[in-house]
Chains A and B, each alone.
Chain A
Amino acid sequence: MDFLQPATWSEALALRAERPDALPLAGGTDVMVDLTFDRRRPAALLDLTRVPDLQEWALEGDRVRLGAGVPYARVLTELAGRLPGLAIAARTVGSPQIRTRGTVGGNLGSASPAGDAHPPLLAAGAEVELASAARGTRRLPVADFFTGPKRSALAADELIAAVLVPVAAGPQQFCKVGTRNAMVIAVTSVAVALHPDRRAVGTGIGSAAPTPRRAPKAEQLVAEELDWAGRTALDDGLAAEFGHRVAAAAAPIDDVRGSAAYRRHALAVMARRALTWAWDDLRRAA
């Protein structure tokens, strides 16, 4: 197995084009597991950890441009204020060791329906920035990035450069259920983001459909019904209906981690609670 170690972004893109058989490697917390279990035997690894551009984040207008190689631990310590939803999700990933190595770019690269970064990115309305040596850079909404279970819009000659996440204009929440209290893959998860600036609500559902997905009907309902101007207390009925619509947007299956019925039920409960907390935070802020 060849080990390719580009030192610059352009070198990385050139190698990616030259060696379509090379598997990109960031924190390795998915890749190395696959290698160990012999699920993958790529001809080469393309180690991206030496590419400085990927390891940084910066403000780009009202968005954070988060390099694909920034690990969860840094999202937690450096971005909890600007990207609270992603930070809450980052806190739930694996263990301290996994959070130190694992990256948001790697989570996107794997495109697992259970990836914990995905729901908050969906709720925030993030974009993924992809790049290739031949065609340069393109950006697409994260919702369009996921094309199937562990499949994405990433082309064979492309790398993920960054994800562009709007700086939170309002409260954000993320909730994840698992069968134990740490180090657990989501049985299901949900993210809620309030966008008071444009009187909108974002959602993201994890582990309850072939891909992470939004719940547009739930978003629409509360965007219209919430008392954005007066910020009066959230109506219990509205919160419950939001939960039901989130659950209805999911297409879960029965598997060894949980039943479809439980996933729907849990989504409804979590979405209701998450919206309530977010709205209460918004009212308190006012």
Chain B
Amino acid sequence: MTATTTAAPATTGTGRIGENAVRPDGTLKVTGEFAYASDLWHDDMVWGVTLRSPHPHARIRGIDVAEALAVPGVTAVLTADDVPGENAFGLEHADQPVLAADVVRYEGEPVALVAADHPETARRAARRIRVDYEVLPALTDPLRALDGDAPQVHPGGNLVRHLRLRRGEPRPEAPVVVSLDVEVGMQDQAFLGPESGLAVPDGEGGVDLYVATQWLHVDQRQVCLALGLPPERVRLTLAGVGGAFGGREDLSVHVHACLLALRTGRPVKMSYGREESFYGHVHRHPAWMTYEFGAERDGTLVHGRARTVLDGGAYASSTAAVVGNAGTLGLGPYRFGSVEVDVYGVFTHNPPCGAMRGFGCVQTAFAVEALMDRLAEAVGLDPVEIRRRNGLREGDRNITGQVVDSAAPVAELVERVAAMPLPPPADPGDPRARPGAVGNTTRGEGVRRGVGYAVTYKNVGFSEGFDDYSTARVRLQVTAGEPVAAVHTAAAEVGQGLVTVQQQIARTELGVDRVVVVPADTSVGSAGSTSASRQTYVTGGAVRAACEAVRAAVLRRAAVALDVAVDGLRLDGGKVLAADGAVLAALADVLGDDAVEETVEWRHRPTHAIDPETGQGDAHVQFAFSAHRAVVDVDVELGLVKVVALDTAQDVGRALNPDAVVGQIHGGSAQGLGLALMEEVVVTDGHVRNPSFTDYLLPTVLDMPPMRVEVLEYADPHAPYGVRGVGEPPTISSGPAVAAAVRAACGRPLTRLPIRPEHITGT
């Protein structure tokens, strides 16, 4: 084990694993030259736009497109009748129409499409489509969704999934019992590059789709279903992705652009603006949680009970899997003897909710961590000690009975953040250091400092028996006298740095300097989703396995050519080396004009479904742990918060690219801070009230403090190179730490997130 801090050496070395290799797309992104999906262009292309429902629930009595079609420049207007295949898509259940046919179930649901030679023309024509709506009563209160008289969002009832988890003695006695209700609002992924894609018809009834996404193959499956075409006629290529965070797991422009392209015979570009983006992707589930912990007088946990309702909105998306996490991981990284958890994911006529970084763990962590602080207070311990005492350790069973079979350093992580130096008092001369900053609202009046702690664990990879794999094709050949490796996967680079990691792995395994990452597309097998903190683990594992296969083939060739035993041969520096390091041959000579190529499908250890009655089972493949300590200054009279410090320790198993790891931790922490203090899609009666960055607030540089980051590397013996997923834990433990710090500063329970100024002032 080693613990490193933020100040990793800034050398790139040879760009192998463990080094701070430079991103191949870094310079382009910083200079503004990187082509994002919104920059896609094709001569002769037309523009597609979407007409969306203004109502959360309505029957469509008729659609008149005549006036829209008559607008000069319009090349097509499509409705549900024009969907050639099945008018349905969905990540887990195909329950969402490509274009609403008879009913709309949320505000913003796509109803019709227009293609025109100019986006403005298309938008104006869309406004001339006459949709005859009969407005229906909408179910917008998720807590009423399961009542007998609630409006039904889909035939079959409003329950998406109920997860029931029981373990240990049913109703144990505990001398200390604490409980709490917590509500978390709807967070948006708020990626900076809105949904965009370009569909190019191939003239033979098929189509090529260039799109920003997180999982090309799951998109392809759904597009094929809707178009009624086989996969070989629907080819997808990843376009430049400007952030994702789960918001690109579901389809957006995909089918729409293809429909218009096949209808018009022209390339069709679709690109959402910011407002449409708020309607064009799922959000993080809002949650209503009732929690109870029982403990011994010394703070040792006895039992945990939780009842959680997640608002899934109008369509299933990944609600069932989010329920899975909110249940199986819903009591945090602690040991419990007795457990009773019920999580309900429900349909409503609110915006659909689905995947977002932290996936079901973010919401529940706010409840768990707030309740741990209450317990600490009830038994007279401090927040660090209560977590240290109850934290999971390697070898423990978690609440689904699964043995945590690699490092589980809860106690150490909390101790580490607690041991970091506390920030000095705010500089009285710098207004930016105060709550409210240059808003000039305090000179110290009403300002109190608070400190808060939180710790979490999160599953890495897909769970509950999902066949989670990735495919990598690696090719080694000589180009211009130099051996070059080409790595081809369908894995989506969404900004996290997977392209760099792929290069690092290939350099390490094949001992070459030059590695080309081939654009991701569906001409190679599925890589699975860029989500669940899984790509470095799973696609990294696939790339390593493919490299090993290539290396074995090359070494066999070398052994034959050199007439030596293959055992002990290795590749480095573009050479074939003997066991003692002696250079036997140049790789270029061994390869000659041939290319050695291998394609490998790679799987992590299987996971298993949980028992439907008890929720018990080995649901997850790996757990990742992190802890945060937040220090805040709160103007308790005005309810304004300045986060002074947000420090963290996280076990990453092994940091393949230390800079990228720290980048993930910074970004994830900011996203958690955002949810704690400001980020919320405000929905009233099924209508989104703030679909813009004017009123959906993201943290700025004056809201996010510089961070102290301690990276621990307790290798997971089951994972390639010992890696552990990195991307999500920071998003989970940062927010609850900030909330705890604000509570400590102002003395209010603050059980509604994000915390608004009026919650702090009590007005």
> Residues of A with Cβ closer than 8 Å to B?
36-38, 88, 91-92, 173-185, 187, 256-259, 261-262, 264-266, 269-270, 273, 277
Contacts and interface: CB of A to CB of B under 8 A. Distances in A.
Interface of B: 120, 123, 273, 275, 432, 435-443, 445-446, 637-640, 642, 677-678, 682, 689-690, 694-695, 697, 699-703, 756-758, 761, 763
A258 B697 CA distance: 13
B758 A181 contact: no
Contacts of A277: 443
A37 B275 contact: yes
A183 B438 CA distance: 10
Q: Which 10 A-B pairs have the closest CB atoms?
A: A181-B437, A262-B758, A181-B702, A182-B702, A265-B763, A176-B439, A182-B700, A256-B689, A261-B763, A175-B441
B761 A177 contact: no
Contacts of B435: 181
Contacts of B642: 181
A269 B637 contact: yes
Most chain B CB inside 10 Å of its own CB: which residue of A184, A187, A270: A184
Nearest to B642: A181
Contacts of B758: 258-259, 261-262, 265
A265 B432 CA distance: 23
A38 B127 CA distance: 12
A36 B368 CA distance: 44
Given A181-B642, A266-B761, 14 more contacts: A175-B441, A176-B440, A176-B441, A177-B436, A179-B677, A179-B697, A179-B756, A180-B678, A180-B702, A181-B703, A182-B437, A256-B689, A262-B757, A266-B757
Most chain B CB inside 10 Å of its own CB: which residue of A173, A175, A264, A269: A269
A177 B697 contact: no
Given A179-B678, A180-B678, A259 B441 contact: no
Given A258-B758, A259-B758, A261-B763, A269 B439 contact: no
Given A37-B275, A179-B756, A256 B441 contact: no
Given A256-B682, A259-B763, A269-B637, A180 B123 contact: no
A36 B273 CA distance: 10
Nearest to A270: B441
Contacts of A178: 436, 439
Nearest to B445: A273
A103 B688 CA distance: 31
A256 B690 contact: yes
A176 B438 CA distance: 8
B757 A258 contact: yes
Contacts of B757: 177, 179, 187, 258, 262, 266
27 contacts: A91-B438, A91-B440, A173-B440, A174-B440, A175-B441, A179-B678, A180-B678, A180-B700, A180-B703, A181-B437, A181-B642, A181-B702, A182-B437, A182-B703, A184-B697, A256-B690, A257-B695, A258-B756, A259-B758, A259-B763, A262-B639, A265-B763, A266-B638, A266-B639, A266-B757, A269-B446, A273-B443
Contacts of A36: 273
Given A180-B697, A256-B695, A259-B758, A92 B440 contact: yes
Contacts of B123: 38
A180 B699 contact: yes
Nearest to B446: A269
A219 B48 CA distance: 57
B532 to A, nearest CB: 30
B534 to A, nearest CB: 32
B483 to A, nearest CB: 47
A261 B439 CA distance: 20
Contacts of A257: 695
A183 B700 contact: yes
A226 to B, nearest CB: 20
A270 B435 CA distance: 13
A53 B761 CA distance: 47
Contacts of A259: 758, 763
A261 B677 CA distance: 19
Contacts of A264: 763
Nearest to B680: A256
A182 to B, nearest CB: 4
A184 B368 CA distance: 32
Given A257-B695, A259-B758, A261-B758, A273 B441 contact: yes
A212 to B, nearest CB: 17
A182 B438 contact: yes
Contacts of B678: 179-180
Contacts of A269: 446, 637-638
Contacts of A266: 638-639, 757, 761
Contacts of A177: 436, 439, 441, 638, 640, 757
A269 B757 CA distance: 13
A211 B678 CA distance: 26
Nearest to B274: A37
B697 A262 contact: no
Contacts of A183: 700
A92 B275 contact: no
Contacts of A265: 758, 761, 763
Contacts of B639: 262, 266
A176 B130 CA distance: 44
Nearest to A269: B637
Contacts of A179: 677-678, 697, 756-757
Contacts of A92: 438-440
Most chain A CB inside 10 Å of its own CB: which residue of B273, B439, B689: B439
A176 B442 CA distance: 10
Contact of B436 (A38, A181, A185, A261): A181
B275 A185 contact: no
Contacts of B438: 91-92, 182
Contacts of B703: 180-182
A262 B763 contact: yes
A178 to B, nearest CB: 6
Most chain A CB inside 10 Å of its own CB: which residue of B677, B682, B697, B701: B697
Nearest to A265: B763
A75 to B, nearest CB: 14
B119 to A, nearest CB: 10
A210 B677 CA distance: 28
Given A177-B757, A258-B758, A273 B442 contact: yes
A259 to B, nearest CB: 5
Nearest to A178: B439
B351 to A, nearest CB: 15
A273 B445 CA distance: 8
A257 B694 CA distance: 10
Contacts of A187: 757
Contacts of B443: 273, 277
A176 B639 CA distance: 13
B313 to A, nearest CB: 19
A181 B763 contact: no
